[in-house]
Amino acid sequence: MRNSTESINVAGGTLPKVAFGQGLFVEDIAGKRYLDGSGGPAVFCLGHGNREVNEAIAAQLNRIAHGYRYTFTSDPLEELTEIVASRSGGSLRNMVFLTGGSEAVESALKIALQYHAARGEVSRRRFISRERSWHGNTLGALSISGFLERRAPFEGALVPGSLLHPANAYRPPAGVAPDQVATWCANELESEILRLGAENVAAFIFEPVVGAAGGVVPAPEDYARQVREICTRHGVLMIADEVMCGAGRCGTWRALAHDGVEPDIMSIAKGLAGGYLPLGATVYSDAVADVINTVHGGPLTGHTFTGHTTCLAAGVAVQRIVARDKLVENVASLGTVFQELLRAATSDIEAIGDVRGRGFFVGIELVADRAQQTPFPAEEKLYLRVRRLALELGLICYPCGGNVDGVAGDTVILAPPYIATRAELAIVADLTARAIRAALAEVGR
């Protein structure tokens, strides 16, 4: 069994102790300063210590911390509902607010099941998702995740589901040309629906831009449109998991808006309240809501702290700032620049296999052989070396392993706060390149 210092998924005892954060920077108790190049795990969209958000939280606490959802509505609940509906667009006007991404995904699955039950199609119980995807830590969300390291200790207790090939043009399925990945993977989805019987399939869930499990992999061009058509044709709900890639991180408020597609259900979190307080949401269409509301009166999901008033107040404050300061526009305009800066800073590193992403959500894949796209041996734990050396240099990044087959494969995710300037992005790029070079030197590459 791995000890805690060998996995980024288990907190070790040698971590620095955080003391202070302001803007893009964090300090530990020893006074060491770190540039937050990944917004933690792609959470801190406004950076740290935003006084306006902190004051909004304090003001709400001075009124009431939480009005339980079955007793009261509240201004923050109504305001954030309106904000999310307007930013989501289309018919995505219905939502349940929760305290994180895993809960948001769990509720998305439950709403899908409830919708089919309300229609009398109680045989629709199966979910389809993809390998090299991550949807959360509850048993339901973990069951549809294709993240080997995080699933392994819980196998045997997970809900049965179907895991398809990743839709990754850099690493296409065997024998498939990169420009055919979208159609091949969409056809694979339809084949699996037919194999299971459409009458047994509740939903297909996918990340429009895969985060931790794949190292930032955008859906290939036209993939989402084909998936939308297939799901509609077979009465299967389409769930977009935008916990990591949504709420503006990819340069559009909905990540899937880039593809011109609207899902039936969407999970969001992370950038929704920017890490100031725990907050997520499951957003769903009028068509789904109408069926559920008619039969059951509303969604049968949620917990004691669902719609927590102060968390919602934090979300309102964050989203007002994001809109007022045109921060999604900043992400859109500087996203391509950021990738260019990273490519330039790493241009001398032969081990850079791919630099990809959208907006302020970028992944770097490291390979032992660029021509063959061969990953480094898993036992070298290159991604963990990058993480450690980056911290020594004063950079917070988000490396992950196993993106190729669940065991081998090293990626580095960068997801800076939306407030980052070009100059700050250049520093992130330089420090990232230095950390990668140092890690490669450690393994003699």
Name every residue whose Cβ is closer than 8 Å to that of residue 153 and which is 6 or more positions away in sequence. none
Q: What is the dihedral of CA 188, 189, 195, 201, to 10 degrees?
A: 170
Give the pLDDT of residue 445.
84
Res 1: pLDDT: 30
* CA–CA gap between residue 267 and residue 284 (Å, rounded): 9
Local confidence band at 5 (pLDDT 50, 70, 90 cut-offs):
very low
The structure's pTM equals: 0.95
CATH 1.10.3720.10 is right for the domain spanning 4-49+326-442: no
pLDDT digit string, tens, across residues 220-262 = 999 999 999 999 999 999 999 999 999 999 999 999 999 999 9
pLDDT class for 15, splitting at 50, 70, 90?
confident
Q: Which of 319, 298, 418, 321 is nearest to 361 (CA)?
A: 418
pLDDT at 408: 96
Phi, psi dihedrals of residue 198, rounded to the nearest 5°: -55, -30
59-118 pLDDT, tens digit per residue, is 999 999 999 999 999 999 999 999 999 999 999 999 999 999 999 999 999 999 999 999
Q: Quick check: helix, strand or coil at residue 419?
A: coil
Model confidence at 2: pLDDT above 70: no
CATH topology of domain 53-324: Aspartate Aminotransferase; domain 2 (3.40.640)
At 173, the amino acid letter reads P
pLDDT bin (cut points 50, 70, 90) of residue 178 is very high
Tokens (6 digits) for 178: 């990169």
Which residues does residue 33 pair with via DSSP β-bridges, in sequence order? Answer: 27
* Token digits of residue 193: 């629906």
In the structure, what pLDDT confidence band is assigned to residue 209 with cuts at 50, 70 and 90? very high
Least Cα distance to 215 among 360, 409, 368 occurs for 409
Tens-digit pLDDT profile for residues 103-154: 999 999 999 999 999 999 999 999 999 999 999 999 999 999 999 989 999 9
pLDDT of residue 11: 55
Give the pLDDT mean for 206-211. Answer: 98
The pLDDT tens digits for 389-435 are 999 999 999 999 999 999 999 999 999 999 999 999 999 999 999 99
302 in Cβ contact with 104 (< 8 Å): no
Q: How many CB atoms lie within 10 A of CB 324?
A: 9
| Closest C-alpha to 249, from 35, 41, 30, 103 | 41
pLDDT at 8: 57
Q: Residue 173 carries which DSSP code?
A: P
pLDDT at residue 68, as a whole number: 95
Q: What residue spans define the domains of the chain?
A: 4-49+326-442, 53-324
Task: Report the mean per-residue pLDDT for the chain.
Answer: 96
**Assigned token pair, 307:** 């719609």
